[in-house]
Amino acid sequence: MRIIDLTDENKALFSICLEDWSDDAREAGCRRAQWIERFLAKGLRAKLAVNEHGTLGGMIQYLPIEHSNVEGSGLHFILCIWVHGHKRGRGNFQGHGMGSALLEAAEADARALGAKGMAAWGIWLPFWMKASWFGKHGYRKADRQGISVLLWKPFCEDARPPRWYPKGPKLPDPVPGKVNVTALVSGWCMVCNLAVERARRAATELGNKVAYREVDTSEPGAVAKWGISDALFVDGKVVRTGPPPSYEKIRSIIAKRAK
């Protein structure tokens, strides 16, 4: 196994989370690629894991916490770490230490850049971005918001723990007489982008019965204002975006309200 840096050669694959085989990745559109180009200028960093056969199997992305969706200073923040686990495409690389190697490489890079610590988010439930996995690697809880946990690992004594922004969101005022579909989207997560794109398509198909609005939450100020970085709402009620609901399910939710 080798850990390599993000380059122009592997950027396109990184922008679709190593899922070049996936129809969902194509359907999610170019939001993530556009976000990457914007945030590379803000200090976005990434490492990729390559197996002994030269196949990319995992990735981690992180950036200065001041440009993330949580409050903090002097730290680097891990937006996600992903080891390809699908049987389709490049195959399942999980369970062989790729995640640990990626995390170690990212921490070493952040230290070299002068970070006072590393932060990450996780969830209590036993699947993607497990808080317990970070705990096994020396991270401890800094804050909690529902099932989401903010974790951190200080590198020096004067490091300060991160915090979630106060939970909201304060949604835009509804358009009277319409089904109001509101998408808060930062662009960094392909899964969230996919749900938003499906909601946009469904709202367009249903015509003037629906008022569709997107709120760009890629900047910390927007997250502080709206209270959340990525979410989908239909008439003020949250629609779960992970795992991403099918287009048919999202359209059905909106259509039932339109009746």
61 falls in which pLDDT band (50, 70, 90)? very high
Average pLDDT value for residue range 108-120: 98
Residue 130 has pLDDT above 80, yes or no: yes
Return the pLDDT at 134. Answer: 97
pLDDT, position 125? 83
Residue-averaged pLDDT of the chain: 95
| Amino acid (one-letter) located at 182 | T
Q: How confident is the model at residue 52 (pLDDT cuts 50, 70, 90)?
A: very high
Q: Residue 193: left if φ>0, alpha if ψ -120 to 50, beta else—which one?
A: alpha
Contacts of 240 by beta carbon, 8 Å cutoff, 6+ apart: none
Position 171 scores a pLDDT of 85
Is the per-residue pLDDT at 126 higher than 90?
no
Alpha-helical (H) ranges within the chain are 11-15, 23-27, 31-40, 98-112, 131-136, 190-205, 220-226, 247-258
Mean pLDDT of 103-128: 94
State how far the Cα of 118 lies from the Cα of 154, in Å rounded to an integer.
Answer: 6
- pLDDT at residue 8 above 90? yes
**What is residue 234's predicted lDDT score, i.e. its pLDDT?**
97
Q: What is the DSSP letter of 258?
A: H
Q: What is the pLDDT of residue 34?
A: 97
Cis peptide before 243 (omega within 30 of 0): yes
- The answer to whether residue 236 scores a pLDDT higher than 90 is yes
The pLDDT tens digits of the residues spanning 131-175 come to 999 999 999 999 999 899 999 999 999 999 999 999 876 788 999
Residue range 111-115: mean pLDDT, rounded? 98
Q: Which CATH architecture has domain 2-154?
A: 3-Layer(aba) Sandwich (3.40)
Share of the chain above pLDDT 70, in %: 100
Cα-based angle 229, 231, 236 (whole degrees, multiple of 5): 125
CB distance 11 to 46 below 8 Å: no
CB count, 10 Å around CB of 151? 24
Domain ranges of the chain: 2-154, 179-258
Identify the three-state secondary structure at position 33.
helix
Question: CB of 210 within 8 A of CB of 258?
Answer: yes
Residues 12-26 have a mean pLDDT of: 96
SS3 content of the chain, % helix, strand, coil (to 5): 30, 30, 40
Which CATH number describes the domain made up of 179-258?
Answer: 3.40.30.10
- Three-state SS for 179? strand
